[in-house]
């Protein structure tokens, strides 16, 4: 990663934040309108979710964070193009990472681009490229918001070589950005390419980068790496999650003293059956729980793939799994599927499908 550390200003205000995914930090509670409906539609539908301007929300494979009384939803801005192996791939971006804000999780205000791509041909953010699966957590110690993502440089085509499969890092004083790009590299060592990834901050505010690590001979497995105290680098403390061999799209959520790791099989853009693993130690060992989906189309995760999981403020024991229904003929029109998470008496994590639901319907 680039060694420039001039961004470490000491004059910023302390960020007061509840990072969703943790459970023991204090936060201002925000009332949620129970009459509002989350609408997911049929398994083959791509329902439109529009912001308060009336435009489609364009925040793909991202996450949600709660900051100073508001939820913020961020994600990659995709293009109205299909699947292609070159510059015209709709899954690559020419914009960057978009941000939206809401007080009720359903009505979202567009806040702008918080990490922008570049038209400069020598820039590491030269578009089109990919900042896939961005995740943001707040570091109270350095008073910064830190973003990690799967970095794929120009022209945004996946590869094994350096520059096409890395972990990228950016930082900002404010959740609304702009985020400063710090660089990209490979945790553990350069042999392992970085694929799908996520961030997780535990109750004690330690942070972890979880990623699908692909080796030169083609083997791949999920790994978890503890981050430094400033969240800007990986430490030498890491673990290979052996039971998660050839699983990607990781999301971690903690329920009580159990860490649940939600994953997807490796099948490109084709939907497959999700699988959950659990552990009482963030670094493992993990054991397989099984498929978190129930009933019809449980073998293709309701025609979606997991993106992120978070806890809802003010609603005890309510967590939401963010999924995405990929539209490979027009990535701009991929649709978002959000479902409430359940943990049964056998300590299995489940999210049954609901075509539509409200918070009031759960109580």
Express each pLDDT in 155-213 by its tens digit: 999 999 999 999 999 999 999 999 999 999 999 999 999 999 999 999 999 999 999 99
Predicted TM-score of the model (pTM): 0.91
Rounded distance, CA 62 to CA 211, Å? 15
pLDDT tens, residue by residue, 84-110? 988 999 999 999 999 999 999 999 999
Contact 323, 341 (CB under 8 A): no
Q: What pLDDT was estimated at residue 359?
A: 79
3-state secondary structure of 361: helix
pLDDT tens, residue by residue, 279-311? 999 999 999 999 999 999 999 999 999 999 999
Bond prior to 219 in cis (omega within 30° of 0): no
**If you count DSSP H runs as helices and E runs as strands, how many of each does the chain have, helices first?**
0, 24
**What is the b/e burial string over 39-76, where b = at least 16 CB atoms within 10 angstroms of the residue's CB?**
bbeebeeeeebebeeeeebbbbbbbbbbbeebbbbbbb
Domain architecture of the chain: domains with CATH? 17-23+47-354 (2.115.10.20)
* 184: exposed, middle or buried (Cβ count in 10 Å: 0-12, 13-18, 19+): buried
Rounded distance, CA 44 to CA 126, Å? 34
pLDDT tens, residue by residue, 313-347? 877 789 999 999 999 999 999 999 999 999 999 99
pLDDT tens, residue by residue, 9-67? 222 333 444 344 433 333 334 444 556 799 999 999 999 999 999 999 999 999 999 99
DSSP β-bridge partners for residue 357: 38
CA gyration radius, the chain: 19
| The two three-digit tokens of residue 74, written as one number | 């961020």
For every residue of 309-349, DSSP letters joined together read EEEPTTSTT-EEEEEEE--TT-GGG-EEEEEE-EE-TT--E
Q: What is the mean pLDDT of the chain?
A: 91
């Amino acid at each position: 990663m680039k060694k420039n550390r001039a961004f470490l200003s000491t004059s910023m205000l302390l960020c007061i934040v509840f990072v969703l995914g943790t459970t023991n930090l204090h936060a201002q509670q925000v009332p949620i309108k129970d009459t509002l409906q989350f609408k997911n539609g049929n398994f083959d539908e791509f329902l439109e979710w529009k912001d308060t301007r009336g435009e489609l929300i364009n925040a793909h494979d991202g996450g949600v964070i709660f900051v100073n009384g508001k939820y913020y939803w961020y994600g990659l801005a995709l293009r109205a193009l299909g699947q292609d192996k070159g510059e015209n791939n709709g899954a690559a971006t020419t914009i960057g990472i978009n941000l939206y804000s809401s007080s009720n999780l359903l009505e979202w205000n567009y806040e702008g681009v918080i990490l922008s791509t570049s038209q400069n041909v020598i820039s590491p953010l030269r578009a089109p490229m990919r900042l896939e699966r961005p995740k943001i957590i707040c570091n109270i110690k350095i008073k910064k918001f830190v973003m990690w993502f799967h970095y794929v440089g120009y022209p945004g085509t996946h590869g094994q070589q350096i520059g096409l499969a890395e972990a990228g890092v950016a930082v900002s004083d404010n959740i609304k950005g702009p985020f400063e790009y710090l660089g990209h590299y490979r945790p553990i060592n350069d042999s392992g390419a970085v694929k799908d990834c996520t961030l997780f901050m535990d109750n004690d505010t330690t942070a972890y980068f979880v990623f699908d690590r692909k080796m030169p001979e083609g083997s791949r497995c999920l790994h978890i790496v503890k981050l430094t105290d400033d969240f800007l680098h990986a430490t030498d403390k890491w673990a290979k999650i052996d039971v998660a061999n050839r699983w990607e799209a990781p999301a971690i959520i903690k329920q009580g003293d159990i860490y649940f790791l939600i994953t997807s099989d490796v099948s490109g853009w084709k939907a497959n059956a999700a699988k959950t693993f659990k552990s009482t130690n963030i670094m493992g060992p993990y054991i397989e729980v099984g498929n978190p989906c129930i009933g019809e189309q449980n073998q293709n995760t309701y025609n979606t793939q997991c993106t992120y999981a978070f806890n809802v403020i003010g609603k005890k024991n309510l967590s939401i799994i963010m999924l995405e229904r990929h539209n490979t003929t027009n990535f701009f029109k991929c649709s978002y599927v959000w479902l409430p998470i359940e943990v049964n008496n056998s300590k299995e994590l489940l999210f049954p499908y609901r075509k539509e639901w409200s918070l009031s319907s759960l109580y």
